[in-house]
């Protein structure tokens, strides 16, 4: 990347979602000099902390939150991203006027060029759906001058994987693959910090290889050189439409 570096904001429902879905992409942007900020809506204290709850009796919700917060902070540090926590409580994650305004303030404060968040449909984890819709609402609100606050231009929005592997239920059909081969080791190191969810590294290694295979398939079929060395990829669905004088091209050097 040359010129002004894009600013990347990642809005994540639970403690680990930003890392499992977009950790390699985050590390790519950090390496290229982009500021990256993660906003965790919740710590995943109820819905994604089973192992912790089973580890000890009489554990309090505050103790679980503290553990998940530390895990997320360590992972974000490894990726090179800043992280903030909304502490909105999960499972179910609910939004109200105050919380919408808080999320809008995050967007106004950071002024992202690129926003990454969840896919809109995830029947197995409705918190992900709530987060996606809230992020979209906050982007619209941040670009609205009606309350006299500075207007924040809408970022390019890309949505990451729903609960893996439930694409049949969630109708997630990615159209954007980010090559994370060079940063996958960083992603794995960060994922290992989530001791409460020890299965993440294995699941997302398999999924990263699967997405890489999808990413290169079209190029293999057409014999395009330079794309077959993608060993790990992260998949996204573009939400904001591409606008330009020409079509976006994924060939090397374009």
Given the rule CB under 5 A, which residues bind Zn ion? 13-14, 17
Return the number of the residue (47 or 179) whose C-beta is nearest Zn ion.
47
CB of 131 to Zn ion, least distance (A): 8
Burial 194-231 (b: 16+ CB within 10 A, else e): bebbeebbeebeebbeebbeebbeebeeeeeeebeebe
CB of 47 to Zn ion, least distance (A): 7
Q: Tell me the HSE value of 137 on the side-chain side, using a 13 A CA sphere.
A: 15
Number of C-alpha atoms within 13 angstroms, CB side, residue 244? 6
Helix (H) or strand (E) run with residue 140 in it: helix 126-142
14 versus 227: smaller Cβ distance to Zn ion: 14
Tell me whether residue 118 or residue 227 sits nearer to Zn ion (CB atom). Answer: 118
Cβ at position 79, least distance to Zn ion in Å = 17
* Shorter beta-carbon distance to Zn ion: residue 30 or 164: 164
Query: Which residue's Cβ has the minimum distance to Zn ion?
Result: 14
CB of 46 to Zn ion, least distance (A): 11
Residue 203, beta-bridge partner list: none
């Amino acid at each position: 990347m040359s010129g002004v570096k894009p600013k990347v904001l990642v809005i994540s429902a639970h403690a680990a979602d930003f890392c499992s879905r977009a950790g390699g992409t985050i590390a790519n942007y950090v390496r290229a000099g982009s500021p990256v900020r993660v906003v965790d809506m919740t710590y995943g204290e109820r819905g994604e902390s089973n192992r912790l709850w089973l580890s000890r009796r009489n554990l309090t919700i505050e103790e679980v939150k503290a553990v998940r917060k530390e895990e997320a902070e360590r992972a974000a540090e490894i990726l090179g991203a800043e992280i903030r926590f909304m502490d909105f409580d999960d499972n179910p994650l609910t939004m109200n006027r105050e919380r919408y305004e808080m999320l809008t303030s995050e967007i106004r404060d950071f002024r992202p060029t690129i926003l990454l968040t969840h896919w809109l449909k995830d029947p197995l984890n409705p918190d992900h759906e709530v987060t996606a819709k809230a992020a979209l609402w906050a982007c619209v609100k941040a670009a609205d001058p009606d309350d006299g606050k500075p207007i924040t231009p809408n970022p390019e929005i890309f949505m990451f994987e729903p609960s893996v592997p439930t694409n049949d239920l969630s109708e997630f059909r990615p159209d954007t693959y980010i090559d994370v081969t060079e940063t996958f080791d960083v992603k794995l190191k960060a994922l290992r910090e989530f001791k409460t969810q020890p299965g993440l590294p294995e699941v997302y290694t398999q999924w990263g290889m699967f997405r890489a295979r999808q990413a290169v398939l079209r190029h293999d079929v057409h014999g395009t050189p330079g794309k077959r060395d993608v060993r790990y990829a992260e998949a996204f669905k573009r939400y904001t439409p591409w606008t330009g004088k020409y079509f976006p091209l994924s060939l090397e050097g374009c």
